[in-house]
Amino acid sequence: MSEKVFSDIEQDTGTKNFIETIIDKDLAEGVYDHVHTRFPPEPNGYLHIGHAKSILLNYGLARKYGGKFNLRYDDTNPTKEKAEFVESIKNDIAWLGADWEDRLFFASDYFDHMYEGAVKLIRKGKAYVSDLSAQRIREYRGTLTEPGREDPYSARTVEENLKLFEEMRNGVYGDGEKVLRARIDMKSPNINLRDPVIYRVAHIAHQNTKDRWCIYPMYDYAHPVEDAIEGITHSICTLEFEDHRPLYDWVVRELEYPDPPKQIEFAKMYLTNVVTGKRYIKKLVEDGTVDGWDDPRLVSIAALRRRGFTPASIRRFVELCGVSKSQSSADYAMLEYCIREDLKTKSPRLMAVLDPVKLVIDNYPQGREELLEVPNNLENEALGSRQVPFGRELYIEREDFMEAAPKKYFRLFPGNEVRLMNAYFVTCTGCVKDAGGKVTEVHCTYDPQTKSGGGVARKVKGTIHWVSAARSLTAQVRLYQNIVDEEKGPYDQEGNLNLNPDSLTVLKECRLEPGFTGAKAYDRFQFVRQGFFCVDARDSRPEALVFHRIVSLKSSFVLPKP
């Protein structure tokens, strides 16, 4: 799958990003003779659109240089990790097209090795056991303008530290009672080097190792060890880890790994007016505001997939965002542009009426039905054509009729003539209303000499779509707006989400032409005049179809010129 996804959309522009320039230099100077990258998610939630950039970047680099790509879970914090998240991450990465082949690893695979590495640091005098609480450690660490103070327990002997660390492993101490700290430099201008904690006590079951361990390594210690064990050459991460790089280098140097990996940082991808924070999404899920981590109003990869986005569209979006050291934000409209571009020639264009009102053609013969040959996509002849049933009673969009029409309204109103798409000209003669004044039927007459394709001499200004009343399918359609209020911004002054109460509209009595029969999960269509839609993978059934609107047809977004 990954080969096809990438080969369909890759374009060699001849330009290189700054990471590729570094890799080229490393290969030319013999620092490495190959490229080996990894994507190291923590399984504490679902991945989002920002993670897609890292996945595609790391896999793309390995692919470009004929190297290898690993998937490795950084599962060093069992308090937040779940097997559910492990599986969701695996599914998302495979769907995007990144292929780790047989290289699926867990940080927990290396816990024995990490423990032995910590013992080695203690023996070298580079680590010690401390009894300080987390709060006291922060106090001793100092500030950006004041150096730290030596930990009062840093004078313990190697033998004492070895004994205490072994007791930590054996469960002698409670959570937070003792930690193992690296001995580096309490006066370093880089706070990350002021004797960071590298192991803590946590009596909690791990999703992978169960109850085998009651001490767990900290990320800043575990991550360089994992990279070194796996032979990673270029450890690509985001900019917030730039200040952690000296610690990364210290770990691989002190543990004496040959051919140490090189950490390179790039800017995260930020998307305007979306929710990516795991704690916010978790709360939305728990409160029932959304129906799960894959709710189509979110930008988790699972949500984008469920809504109908394609791997190719996300790949294109990531490419347009580029790779740099400068923080910037991308407009959600650019993501929508990418899916429109991907689907416009791939998706069949069928007729669906979202807010139906019956149209009766009074002079069309009772009981007669004819089949009209209609192309599936005018921009792609390879998609072929279909036969659409036409009869005396149809459904049209309620907004396509007005009893008292304003100027420049070219659809149906009494006395006006329009074309029924791919069919005939009809002239509106009036309407029928219920007791509340709501229009229940629109009446018209048709001109049998105006069949589409027949070379009609006269012109009309309006064309509307329709479906056969007798042969139409009933479906539910879900329309989405941003889950947050775009005018107020995603967050208020207290950090709470500004939710949009109109983020979801459910239309339960939509009418579809018979061409939708047999539509299955993730099938994508263009609804004529309405947008691009996808069959829901969770709620849709053959006898009760459910569609998400992926994106509308039009946007003000214009792709910037290169």
DSSP state letter for 107 = G
Give the separation between CA 510 and CA 512, rounded to whole angstroms. 7
pTM for this entry: 0.91
Pairing between β-strand 504-512 and β-strand 473-480 as defined by DSSP bridges: antiparallel
Residue pair 415/426 in contact by the 8 Å Cβ criterion: no
Q: In order of start, what are the domains of the chain with their CATH numbers? A: 2-270 (3.40.50.620), 271-343 (1.10.1160.10), 349-551 (2.40.240.10)
DSSP state letter for 1 = -
Give the separation between CA 355 and CA 399, rounded to whole angstroms. 8
**Around Cβ 434, how many Cβ atoms within 10 Å?**
9
Q: What is the pLDDT along the chain (562 residues), one digit of tens a residue?
A: 444 455 444 444 568 999 999 999 999 999 999 999 999 999 999 999 999 999 999 999 999 999 999 999 999 999 989 999 999 999 999 999 999 999 999 999 999 999 999 999 999 999 999 999 999 999 999 999 999 999 999 999 999 999 999 999 999 999 999 999 999 999 999 999 999 999 999 999 998 999 999 999 999 999 999 999 999 999 999 999 999 999 999 999 999 999 999 999 999 988 888 888 888 999 999 999 999 999 999 999 999 999 999 999 999 999 999 999 998 888 999 999 999 999 999 999 999 999 999 999 999 999 999 999 999 999 999 999 999 999 999 999 999 999 999 999 999 999 999 999 999 999 999 999 999 999 999 999 999 999 998 777 789 999 999 999 999 999 999 999 999 988 887 777 787 889 999 999 999 999 999 999 999 999 999 999 999 999 999 999 999 999 999 999 987 666 666 5
**Around Cβ 561, how many Cβ atoms within 10 Å?**
4
Could you list the beta-strand ranges (E) of 49-103: 68-73
Give the contacts of 308 (CB within 8 A, at least 6 positions apart): 339, 522, 524, 532, 533, 534, 548, 550
Give the contacts of 550 (CB within 8 A, at least 6 positions apart): 307, 308, 309, 339, 343, 524, 531, 532, 533, 534
For residue 246, the one-letter residue type is P
Give the separation between CA 158 and CA 341, rounded to whole angstroms. 63
Tokens 């002849």: give the residue. Answer: 381
Burial of 383 (0-12, 13-18, 19+ CB in 10 A): middle
DSSP state letter for 561 = P
Please compute, for residue 510, the number of CA atoms within 13 A of its CA located in the half-sphere on the CB side.
Answer: 25
Residue pair 350/527 in contact by the 8 Å Cβ criterion: yes
Tokens 């911004």: give the residue. Answer: 489
Torsion of CA 59, 64, 68, 73, to 10 degrees: -10
pLDDT at 556: 64
Cα 382 to its chain centre, rounded Å, is 30
Read off φ and ψ for residue 82, nearest 5 degrees: -140, 150
Give the contacts of 435 (CB within 8 A, at least 6 positions apart): none
Residue pair 97/132 in contact by the 8 Å Cβ criterion: no
pLDDT at 162: 98
